[in-house]
A and B are shown apart, each in its own frame.
Chain A
C-alpha cells in the first residue's frame, strides 16, 4: 500500500506547485552567463545565438472563478511564462497558466513589443499549451531549437528563463535522475527530469538545455529539486498537435500494493523468482478499466517484468515506475499487453490505452474555461465538489471537514458510467426565507425532496418537485446538521430579493 497512487497526496503537491507559481516575486537574481557546456556541444547543437532565437516570453492574463461565491470571478492575475519556439510558428509552454486565460501576449528578445497570440491547444495532463502568433513580423529572427530525442543522462544542464527586463537568464543545474512524475494538476505519469539548482522561483516553463538541445521544460518544485517534462513528452505532444488529433496522454488509473513480502508472494501462488504488484483499485475510465480487477497480480506490462514495487527496467533510463509505460512512447487508442495472475491462472490480456478526462473523476482534479456549476434555492448555495473548490482550504487534505475527506477517499469513485458527484450545500445567503440555517456550510447533500442527489442535475430535478409545499434537504449523517426545510413558495418569492441583496445575476449557472 505504501506505493499506491494516493490521489490526495498527489493533488496536494500539484496545488502547492500552482500556488508557488502564481505568487512568485519578480526574478531578482543577476543574469548568469550560460554554462560553457551549453554552447560547446557538437553540431547541430544550438549556439548561444540559437538559444536566444528559440526562446520567447509569454505574458498570460487570466481570471479564475470564485468557487465560494460561484457567480463571481476573483481578481485577475498575470503570469509570465517562458516559451519555446517550435516548428510551424508556434510556441510550446509547460504551464498551468492556460485554461482560464483571457489574453496571451508574446514578446521576443530585444523588443519591447508584445504581440497577441492564440492558444491553440491546452492539455492540463502535461501541463502543456501550444500558442500561435499570427503576425509574421513576430517570427523574424526566431528559430526553433532542436529537441533532444531522448532524456539526457546525469550531468550538468543549463536552465534558461526570460526576465522582465527582456534579458535571458541562464542558470546552471544538475540532472539528478530521470523518472516518472506528475506535473501541475496532471494525474498522468510522464517522463520527468529531476533537476537540482540553487536558483529559486522556477516552475514557469523554463527551458532545460543539455548538450545544446532542449532536454525539457521546468514545471515546478518537488522537494529540493525541480521537475521538468522531458523532451520525448514534448515531442509526443507536438506530433499529436501537428496531426490535429491530440487526445492527451494515456493513463493507468490504478492503485496497488507492493508485494515485497516473500511469504505473501508465495501464499498468493507466485513462483520462485516471479514478481509483480497487486491491484487494489481500478478506475473505470482508465486504461485498465474493464480489463483488470482489484486483486489481480500484475506480473508484466508492455513486455516488461515488474518488480515487487512496480518498477521495470526501461531500456534507456533504468528503473522506472510501471505507470510510465502507459504514456512513454504509447498513445491512447493503442493497446498494451499485460500478464496477470488471477485466481491461480496466468492470463495474457490487452489493455486498450485511454486518456482520462477530468470529469471522469468523482472529484474533478481541475476545471478550466468555465465557472462552477451552482444552484441557489432560497439562499442555499449548492455546488459539486471539485479540486478548485477544495483549494479554498489551502492545505485541504489537512483542513477540509473530515466527512468531506472521507467522501473523497473512501467512497466508490465511479460506480456508474457517469460518475456520481459529491453535492455540497456550500454556504447560505442569509435571508428571511432561510432563517435558522444561515451558518450551514460545506455539508454533503444526500437527498432533496426525497430524491437521492448524485449531481447538480439531480438536485435541479428534485427542487422542481417540492413535498407538500416544502423543500426538504437531507444531509449525509454525522455532519451536525441533518436537514434543512424551506417553504417552496417563499423560496421562489425570495429569488429576486436575494439576487439584489447579494449581487447574484443568475441563481442557477445553467440558467440562460
Chain B
C-alpha cells in the first residue's frame, strides 16, 4: 500500500505533459524538489528498521516560510532535502507537521538563505469541473520543474491510499500526474487549488489532487501547533433509493435523506442520532436519497460536511424520527481507535518479547505483514476482530486484541505447536487486553509453568517458568533484539 502511490503511471511523458508557459507568472519558482531518505519500521520484526531507501517528490512554498508536500513523500523519512528550481544546492528541511489521514505535510527549512526571494503561493478555491488547471512538480525523467495542463474532470469523495482508511474530497484531472509530481501544486488563475497526490496505476489521463478545502482544513488545524485530524461522524448509513423504505420510515414526499444503520461509540453522532433515524441534513445542507449534498456543480457524500469541521466544533443535524423532524446538535469528535485501521508511518511498533514469544497489538499494519489478501488469508478470529467485531459488539469497540505474532525458536519454546499469528485470550489466567497485561501476567506468575490460552480453536500452550527466565536474555542476544519491549 505504501508504494501504491508511487506506482502512479509508468508512461513518463504523456501528450499532455509537454512544457507549457506557466499561467500566473513565477509559480514554477515557488515549487521545490523534495528528496527523502527513509527507513521504515519492520512490522514483522518490530525491533528493527528496514534499510535506507530514497524517494523524491515535490512541494511548494506558502506563507509563514513553510513548504507543503504530501505525507507519503516524507513518510518514514530520516532526512529531508529540498531544492529550489533556481538553485543547485539542497537545504535540509525539518518536518513540522504531518496529516497521514489527508496525505499532507508541512516542512520548514531553518537556513534563512533558502527563503530569500521565494514568493509564497496563495490558495484559491475549489475548481469547477471543466475548468483548466496546471500542475507543477518534479516528475520522473528530469531535473527541472515541469508543468502540465489539463481539465478538471470531476469532483468527488474517494479513498486516500496513503492511510488506506480515509476518504475525503478529491479532484480528478486529465493533467498528467506522474511519480514525482506528488506534493506539487495544482494551479488555477495563479493560485493553488490543490496538491497532486495519487493516480490509478494503468489508467491514462486520470490523476487526482487534494483540493484546497482539505488542504485548508489541515493548515487551519495546525494553528495551535498540533494536528488533530478530521472528525468522524461515526455513522453507517443506507441510501434511501428504495421508495418502499422511504414509506416504511414514514418520510413525507419531497423529503430525502439516508437511514442511520449504526452509530459508532465515541463518534460525533453517538448519543445524538439513533439507528432507524433518517438523516435529512447536515450543517443545513439537505442530503439526497443517495447520501450526497451539493458542492458547487458537483454532488459529494454528506460526510464531506463533517470534513469541513474541526474536532470540537458544533455540528447541526436534522433527522426524521417517529414522524417528526428533529434538529440536533453534536460536538465533532474523532474516533482514536480507527488509527488501528490506518497504515502507520514513522512510528515504531509496540511489542513485547518474552522467552522468544513476540506479542503485538492487532492492527492493519500487522495484518499487512501476511500479504495483501489478509482479509481472506489471516485467521478468521483476527479478521473478525479487525473488520467485524465493532459492529457486532459495540460495547467492546475500544478493546485491544493482543496477538502472538511469532516464536523465536529456542529449546524452551521450539516444541510449541501453534498456528501463527493467533489472538491471545489469557496468560496465567489473566485476561490479556493490552501489551502491559502481557508483561504483568508473566512477571506476577509464581507457578511452575506459564500458561497461555489462545482464542477459539487456537488451543493452549505452556512454558517452564524457570527455563523461560534463563532463556529470555539468551534469546534476546541470539536474535539481536536490543530491547524486550516497546510500549
Contacts and interface: CB of A to CB of B under 8 A. Distances in A.
Of A255, A435, A470, A482, most B-chain CB atoms within 10 Å: A482
B391 A398 contact: no
A402 B383 contact: yes
Given A260-B416, A405-B380, A437-B242, A470 B248 contact: yes
B221 interface: no
Contacts of B240: 436
A264 B242 contact: no
A204 B39 CA distance: 55
Nearest to B249: A485
A264 B452 CA distance: 10
Contacts of A403: 387-388
A484 B242 contact: yes
Interface stretch (B18-26, B139-147, B204-212, B458-466): B458-466
Interface string B235-279: 010111111110110000000000101100000000000000000
B224 interface: no
Contact of A255 (B239, B242, B457, B461): B457
A406 B380 contact: yes
Interface string B31-45: 000000000000000
Interface string A465-487: 00010101000111001111111
A198 interface: no
Contacts, number: 132
B376 interface: yes
B391 A478 contact: yes
Nearest to B244: A487
Contacts of B381: 410
B341 to A, nearest CB: 13
Contacts of B244: 433, 435, 470, 485-487, 490
B389 to A, nearest CB: 8
B463 A263 contact: yes
B417 A402 contact: no
Interface in A211-262: 255, 257-262
A406 B245 contact: no
A402 B387 contact: yes
A278 B383 contact: no
A442 to B, nearest CB: 14
Main secondary structure of the interface of B (DSSP, over half): mixed
B261 A482 contact: yes
Nearest to A471: B244
A165 interface: no
B419 interface: yes
B384 interface: yes
B456 A260 contact: no
Contacts of A103: none
B139 to A, nearest CB: 37
Contacts of A481: 238
Interface in B369-390: 373, 375-377, 380-381, 383-384, 387-388, 390
Contacts of B243: 435-436, 487
Given A397-B376, A406-B388, A478-B388, A434 B242 contact: yes
A410 B455 CA distance: 10
A409 interface: yes
Contacts of A266: 449, 462, 464
Contact of A263 (B384, B419, B449, B454): B449
B415 A262 contact: yes
Nearest to B463: A263
B304 interface: no
Interface in A456-512: 468, 470, 472, 476-478, 481-487, 490
Interface residues of A, number: 50
A410 B376 contact: no
Given A410-B384, A487-B247, A261 B417 contact: yes
A267 B457 contact: no
Contacts of A28: none
A392 interface: no
Given A1-B418, A267-B462, A477-B391, A410 B456 contact: yes
B113 interface: no
Of A264, A281, A433, A486, most B-chain CB atoms within 10 Å: A264
Contacts of B373: 398
Nearest to A467: B248
A1 B262 contact: no
B392 interface: yes
Contacts of A434: 242
A435 B383 contact: no
Nearest to B240: A436
Contacts of A472: 248
A219 B372 CA distance: 34
Contacts of B451: 267
Nearest to B236: A482
Contact of B375 (A402, A477, A490): A402
A261 B462 contact: yes
22 contacts: A1-B454, A3-B417, A255-B457, A257-B417, A257-B457, A261-B413, A261-B461, A263-B412, A264-B460, A264-B462, A266-B462, A280-B456, A280-B459, A402-B375, A402-B387, A406-B380, A436-B241, A436-B242, A478-B391, A484-B245, A485-B245, A487-B247
The 7 closest A-B pairs by CB, nearest first: A436-B241, A436-B242, A477-B391, A482-B261, A257-B459, A258-B417, A485-B245
Interface of A: 1-4, 255, 257-264, 266-268, 278, 280-281, 309, 397-400, 402-403, 405-406, 408-410, 433-437, 468, 470, 472, 476-478, 481-487, 490
Interface of B: 236, 238-245, 247-248, 259, 261-262, 373, 375-377, 380-381, 383-384, 387-388, 390-392, 412-413, 415-419, 422, 448-449, 451, 454, 456-464, 467
